[in-house]
Amino acid sequence: MPAQNAQVLFPVNVDGPFDYEVPYGMEIVPGDFVFAPIGQQMKLGVVWGLQPAEDGRSLKPLAQKKSCPSLPPIMLKFVDWTARYNCASPGMVLRMVMSSYKALEPSPVVTHFRPSGNTDLRLTAARQIILDKGGPFPARASEIAERAGVSAGVVRGFAEIGGLLAESLPVDQAFQIPDPDQEGLDLSAGQRDAAEKLIAIQKKPGFSVSLLDGVTGSGKTEVYFEAAAEALKQGGQVLVLVPEIALTQAGMKRFEARFGAVPAPWHSALGDAERRRVWREVASGRAKLVVGARSALYLPYPNLQLTVVDEEHDTSYKQEEGVIYNARDMAVVRAMLSKQSVILASATPTLESLVNARMGRYNHIVLPERPGAITLPDIDLVDLKDHPPEKGDFLSEPIIEAAWTALSRGEQAMFYLNRRGYAPLIICRHCGDKLKSPDTDSWLVEHKKTGRAICHQTGFSMRMPKVCPSCHAEDSLTSVGPGVERIAEEAARHFPEARIEILSSDTSGNPEMIRQRMARMEQGEIDILVGTQMVVKGHNFPNLTFVGVVDGDLSLVGGDPRAGERTYQTLVQVAGRAGRADKSGHALIQTHQPQHEALQALAAGDRERFIAAELSMREMLGLPPYGRLAGVVVSGPDVKRTEDLAHKFVSLAPRAEGIEILGPSEPPLARLRGRFRRRILIQANAGIDLSAYMRNWRQRMKVPSKYRLHVDIDPQSFM
């Protein structure tokens, strides 16, 4: 065999692979894990490519091939694509893929025991009990001991004389195999029709994207289950991406009910042992059904046949730190590279996906019905100029009355406000100072329940001060504006008899607490739920018939070009909580801007009108999907130097037609965790390869240490 060189990519912040000599006799292929020297260290990397050795070029040799399965070839392409598109380091993308080093080792083993069937042994009473009560076998010594009420030493002693046989079993068990033929839920005619279409698409080989578009409660999950069943029948792997917050036990139970097997889970809170188990089982192809948050996309599936992105509009698919990417978009890329199919599901699809569907690039599958329900709720606007709440209050007369009506019928009501805590702002009446986070340009939020003032950007928290930190006046601090705690307090005044609870990420702490509160709401043990964003993620409250949106204007302000769309999506999802099964619902939205197009279209129940207005506005301004955006954030410890760097970067921009550069400017979060920030926005015509442009530009500047420059392709956050 002629001498070869190997390119090896390491999971570190580098621009590409390094070259090594392949030692004589070492057989490797791309995707193999190898140890190779980098600086003074020996590091684990992945063979990215092989080439005939060049004469006269002397390279360090690879140290060793790791004996473990290699990465599937598709993952190499996917890493490169992700890095190129998002202007990220391929090494850092590989690091996302290598998320469990322990998964590269075989599972640890544990000794199990089972009866040997040897009848020649003298059985003491304790040994007889082990045989009678120690099962089911095989089991660990400790399990047998506990069931039999003896010590583990007695169990081991029995094994030593031959009464029990010991065997080593892997700690990491395989996942149950999902059964696609198990009977699903009864589908309505409309659902059946949509499911048939998706099954037909799944049967055709090759790349496809389908937008599954249906109002809240139309049964999208049951419909994509059928496409998943088809992919499983073909022997492939299926990945269902869901927003992290929807990864509750209740959510997993639906998969179990349909496929008779618990899916492999993947999310940020997974422990090391479970992480290692899932990674290894996915890599081997044995885990057939994975349900996970966005990073589950970077597990090494050798045979992925279908990816479902549920709630495709959800902003949590965008990773904002480290490698900045949008898992929804990367799922489509992954499918394109491996020629498989993707389903994007949503009640409120993004305009980008809708336009792709209308242009025929995506299959558009619409679920028009809401089985069992009469209609979507009636949505009305409450103009706060005409119906101002009482002084110091935030709930207007019409909202209070509508809630009364629901409660008097024995039904439930919900007040929605996407603001945690008691008040978003604490101000001193004496000197006018606002309480700010010490190292971040963000106001502290009062949390009355815990008696603390908290920064929601960084998690900084302090006891609510008794005196003003600036002027030291006593009892001068006053709370401005509403948070969910304050709305709950106000609701308790209006509805003294009602059982009122708050649902937000800090009142409810962990996912299990959230699940319990959801269950109480579902079972009618709560009359009024006051909730944040948390409540909009696809939960079923059959007896909830009224939703009051406290501040419909909240997300209409700010520099985010998708603000109108976000407001529309959120309000549709919130209003969609009202009225399920056999009861019709009603939603009221309080607003200072009743003329806003998003709110008007919402009140009219006219999605088409909203989409048309929003699209024509975006077309006029050249915003996505008619143009492309990239964001750049420059940050560092010194304000002047950060500003200078941002200006210098702008001056280095390559000249190109159809590109407009805005900024640098001071973003709303001009300081975060002690670092100053400047933002640059790049707007490009639709046909331009903005990733290539940004990559070229980025390479023109070396950023000094302690300073950072992040490129964000298709930014979702403008903070």
Applying CB under 5 A, which part among 172-180, 411-419, 429-437, 676-684 lies near Zn ion?
429-437
* Least gap, CB of 580 to Zn ion (angstroms): 49
Angle at 525 between CA 522 and CA 531, to 5 degrees: 65
Nearer to Zn ion, 379 or 444 (CB): 444
User: Which 472-491 positions form the footprint of Zn ion (CB under 5 A)?
Assistant: 473
Q: What DSSP string runs through 239-297?
A: EEE--GGG--HHHHHHHHHHHSSPPEEE-TT--HHHHHHHHHHHHHT---EEEE-GGGG
Least Å distance, CB 448 to Zn ion, is 20
CB 229 within 8 A of CB 259: yes
Give strand ranges (E) for 116-219. Answer: 164-170, 208-214
Confirm if 630 and 690 have CB atoms less than 8 A apart: yes
Q: Which stretch binds Zn ion (CB under 5 A): 85-93, 187-195, 446-454, 467-475?
A: 467-475
- Distance between CA atoms of residues 489 and 74, nearest Å: 55
Q: What sections of 326-388 are H helices per DSSP?
A: 327-338, 351-358
Count of chain residues binding Zn ion (CB under 5 A): 8
User: What is the closest distance, in whole angstroms, from the C-beta atom of residue 611 to Zn ion in the complex?
Assistant: 48
- Cβ-based nearer residue to Zn ion, 109 or 431: 431
Q: Which of 195, 468, 518, 529 binds Zn ion (CB under 5 A)?
A: 468
Residue with smaller CB distance to Zn ion, 285 or 465: 465
Per CB under 5 A, contacts with Zn ion among 645-684 are none
Taking the C-alpha atoms of residue 441 and residue 674, their distance in angstroms, rounded to an integer, is 9
Quick one: which segment of 129-137, 148-156, 320-328, 463-471 binds Zn ion (CB under 5 A)?
Answer: 463-471
Does the protein bind Zn ion through residue 471 (CB under 5 A)?
A: yes
Residue 433 CB, shortest distance to Zn ion, in Å, is: 5
Which DSSP helix (H) or strand (E) runs through 567?
helix 563-575
Q: Could you give the maximum distance between any two Cα atoms of the chain, in Å? A: 93
Measured from the CB atom, the residue of 87 and 468 that comes closer to Zn ion is 468
Min CB(429)–Zn ion separation in Å: 8
Member of 42, 431, 652, 662 binding Zn ion (CB under 5 A): 431
Q: Which of 428, 514, 574, 645 binds Zn ion (CB under 5 A)?
A: 428
Pick between residue 169 and residue 431 the one whose CB is nearest to Zn ion. Answer: 431
From the CB of 411, what's the least distance to Zn ion, in Å?
Answer: 46
Q: In the numeric block, which tokens belong to residue 432?
A: 């006018």
* From candidates 430, 448, 494, 647, binder to Zn ion by CB under 5 A: 430
Binding mask 520-539 for Zn ion (x = CB under 5 A): --------------------
Whole-angstrom distance, CA of residue 551 vs CA of residue 384: 10
CB of 147 or CB of 430, closer to Zn ion: 430
Binding mask 375-414 for Zn ion (x = CB under 5 A): ----------------------------------------
Q: Which stretch, 330-338, 364-372, 422-430, 682-690, contacts Zn ion (CB under 5 A)?
A: 422-430
Among the listed residues 231, 440, 445, the one whose alpha carbon sits nearest the alpha carbon of residue 338: 231
Question: Taking the complex as a whole, how short is the minimal distance between the CB of residue 668 and Zn ion, in angstroms?
Answer: 24
Nearest residue (CB) to Zn ion, 470 versus 716? 470
Cis amide prior to 664 (ω within 30 degrees): yes
The C-alpha atoms of residue 49 and residue 644 are separated, in whole angstroms, by 40
Single out the residue of 303, 316, 470, 696 in contact with Zn ion (rule: CB under 5 A). 470
Does position 436 interact with Zn ion (CB under 5 A)? The reply is no
Give the separation between CA 561 and CA 573, rounded to whole angstroms. Answer: 20
Beta bridge partners of 212: 345, 365
Residue 103 vs 468, nearer CB to Zn ion: 468
Nearest approach in angstroms of CB 225 to Zn ion is: 58
Report the candidate in 109, 328, 318, 177 with the shortest Cα–Cα distance to residue 240. Answer: 328
Give 225's contacts (C-beta < 8 A, 6+ positions apart). Answer: 184, 255, 258, 259
How many whole angstroms separate alpha carbon 219 and alpha carbon 202? Answer: 19
Q: Which stretch binds Zn ion (CB under 5 A): 70-78, 431-439, 528-536, 669-677?
A: 431-439
CA 284/CA 274 separation, integer angstroms: 15
CA distance 676 to 679: 10
Q: Which residues of this chain interact with Zn ion, rule CB under 5 A?
A: 428, 430-431, 433, 468, 470-471, 473
